[in-house]
Amino acid sequence: MKTIRSKTLRSTVIVVAGFGLALAALGAREMRPVPDGAQVALVFASGTSFLLGDVIEFTFILSNAGPRSLEFETGGDYRGTGFPTRYRFTVIDENRRALPKETWMEMGGLAGPSKLEPGEVHRQLLRLQNYVRVDRPGVFSVQVAHDFGWTATQDRPLPVARATIAISIPTAEQAAERVRLVAASQEPIEENQLGAYWHKTDFRYLSHPVFLSALERQAGLGEARALEGVQRIQTTNATWALIRLLSSENPVVLHGAALFLGQRMPPRIVGGYPRRPFGYVAEEAAAAYTNQWLPEAAEPLRIAASRLLRSTNTNHARTGAFIIESIGRPEDAVPVLEALRKTLEQWSLREKPEDNILNAPGAGDALVAALAGLRERGYRAPRNGGIEVIMAQFLEWADPTMPRGDGWEQTLEAFFTQNPPMLREAAVRALPKPPAGKWEKLLLEALDDRDRGVIREACRAAGASESAIFIVPLANIVRTERHVWVVREASQALTKLGAHWAATDAWIERVADEELWHDSMAFLVEKLEHPKPGGGTSGNRPSREERVALRQKWQRFFSDKERQELVQSGRPVPVTEDEARDLLGGAFRIWLEGDKTWPPEKR
């Protein structure tokens, strides 16, 4: 974001105001009082009258009308969105009804302060639709504020810029022309960007029913981006439009229509939380879509899901699997198993520290979830079949409420060490609980598997086993493993087994590790008696020599048998502030409430 400073200021609307609104501090940092002379304004380059569907942009201006320079913060607040998220908007109509706020994943981040000299201004171009959904006509009062790193008080509130805008509803002809212009002006998008909360296509702003007919027509011509507008129209007529578009011969349009209908499905509840087709959807926004679900959509959507599952496009297969997970019938398992077989055939060993071991290859995770949803509605894996059927059986046996038929032991033992790794992970999850005898031996072997995803799953099973036989191999994983997610899983398993000292002793060795020193320090400091944290931890990576020296300090500190016994019993180890400063070496600290840190700097 570019900062521009100038001595002059011209605008169609300039509003400077104080408003009793204290914005939450983003992370632990030094806060400053609102400086004298700080004024804010909104500047609209082309007037303040708009039609629904117009892009509404304006410039937020911070000016210094005081006699001295002032400091302000702006940077680092747009990661994950592409626009600055620390601006706070309130937009209300004549009846005091607020426009709904847009939601996004707040990734935060801060940057250092900038200076604004007397008479200078800082400008930031903002788009209203990034912050609120403009879905109806009216006359609106717009209020915009930014904390700028300042602390608001009753006497010195944050300045808030205000303006009034008028938004009219277009005619059907104007709406159709707006859809045509957006289609002609927008850059192509990647298919996996459909529905993403950070996606910027202007079709998203056409969220009023007046645009529905033109949007459906554009989508029917193959313009998949038009579905972004259809899906944001929260009416059952929009649901019917998506249903009709499921018959498209264009696979991208078919997928988009299914994807957005999937957002309107009644969600499957897992662990008390609804499963959603997108990674981040606020509960209120999700409910607004599911309220527009039509039972008539279920059958054509299931048919579309089967088509998607047979696609070679991974995103299409994921969407098809998600639909079957939520509304599929037992007979829908056939295309799910076909897609699962293709996924199982595309495997490779995950041996490198950077390999992804949190997700199955391709659409694997979605296909596994689809089978889980089908099991809840009565599906049972076939008795005979290929590797995909063996996988389905393993997934079924991992559920302790599911009965195991004759011959399960021979099948599990025969395939426990077979490729692909995804099958071995499922085999580990299918082990009897707790594992004993030959199953315990197989689990020990899985802790030394070549595939890191299998090792991580074996760590989980070992942690749940309640068996001390796994303590030494788990501790050795913490000592030596290069993949951070495997190390973390092994550490958690040791904690579940009550092997607190074994885990601590292993983590001490990783203090000197370039990649894991912060994880090790975070683990070790929790073994010490310290004030309750209020803002997480932070640290600057020390040099190799400094890390080796820190490891030696921790080894000396915990060479005391009484301290080892305290750790093993789960009790915090008393430590003086001087000892804590020595152990952390200035490289690591805990943030407390009130922007304080522990251990405190020595006075």
pLDDT of 14 = 37
Q: What is the dihedral of CA 339, 486, 449, 414, to 10 degrees?
A: -50
Task: Give the rounded percent of residues in the chain with a pLDDT score beyond 70.
Answer: 89
Q: What is the pLDDT of residues 355-392, one digit of tens each?
A: 999 999 999 999 999 999 999 999 999 999 999 999 99
Q: Where are the domains of the chain?
A: 17-169, 171-328, 500-603
Q: What is the pLDDT of residues 134-167, one digit of tens each?
A: 999 999 999 999 999 898 888 899 999 999 999 9
Q: What is the pLDDT of residues 473-482, one digit of tens each?
A: 999 999 999 9
Partner residues linked to 537 by β-bridges: 590
Tokens encoding 499: 């092997």
- Among 23-32, 100-109, 253-262, 402-411, name the one with the lowest average pLDDT: 23-32
State how far the Cα of 589 lies from the Cα of 113, in Å rounded to an integer.
Answer: 23
State how far the Cα of 261 lies from the Cα of 243, in Å rounded to an integer.
Answer: 8
Q: What is the pLDDT of residues 483-504, one digit of tens each?
A: 999 999 999 999 999 999 999 9
CB 309 within 8 A of CB 301: no
Tokens encoding 539: 């640290």
pLDDT of 12 = 41
Q: Residue 80's pLDDT band (boundaries 50, 70, 90)?
A: low
pLDDT of 376 = 94
Q: Residue 275's pLDDT band (boundaries 50, 70, 90)?
A: confident
Q: Residue 259's pLDDT band (boundaries 50, 70, 90)?
A: very high
The Cβ of residue 474 has, within 10 Å, a number of other Cβ atoms equal to: 27
The Cβ of residue 214 has, within 10 Å, a number of other Cβ atoms equal to: 22
The rounded Cα 351 to chain-centroid distance in angstroms is 26
For the chain, the average pLDDT equals: 89
Q: What is the pLDDT of residues 323-341, one digit of tens each?
A: 999 999 999 999 999 999 9
433 residue type, one letter: K
pLDDT at 21 over 70: no
Q: What is the mean pLDDT of residues 186-197?
A: 72
Q: Residue 197's pLDDT band (boundaries 50, 70, 90)?
A: low
pLDDT at 33 over 50: yes
- Of the two residues 278 and 47, the one the predictor is more confident about is 47
Element (H, E) at 557: helix 544-557
Q: What is the mean pLDDT of residues 256-267?
A: 93
Strands (DSSP E) along 120-218, which ranges?
121-127, 138-145, 150-151, 158-168
pLDDT at 133 over 60: yes
pLDDT of 199 = 66
CATH number for 17-169 (one of 2.60.40.2360, 3.30.420.40, 2.130.10.10, 3.30.470.10): it is 2.60.40.2360
Please give the model's pTM, rounded to 2 decimal places: 0.83
pLDDT of 590 = 87
State how far the Cα of 309 lies from the Cα of 325, in Å rounded to an integer.
Answer: 12
Q: Which residue is associated with the tokens 């250092």?
A: 112
Q: Residue 279's pLDDT band (boundaries 50, 70, 90)?
A: low
Whether the link from the prior residue into 84 is cis, omega within 30° of 0, is: no
pLDDT of 112 = 66
State how far the Cα of 599 lies from the Cα of 113, in Å rounded to an integer.
Answer: 26
Which DSSP symbol is given to 345? H
- 53 Cβ partners below 8 Å, 6+ apart? 170, 175, 178, 205, 206, 208, 211
Tokens encoding 14: 């300039």
Diameter of the chain by CA atoms?
A: 86
Q: Residue 187's pLDDT band (boundaries 50, 70, 90)?
A: confident
- Among 193-202, 358-367, 516-525, 556-565, name the one with the lowest average pLDDT: 193-202
How many CA atoms within 13 Å lie on the side-chain side of 152?
17
244 residue type, one letter: R
Which DSSP symbol is given to 126? E
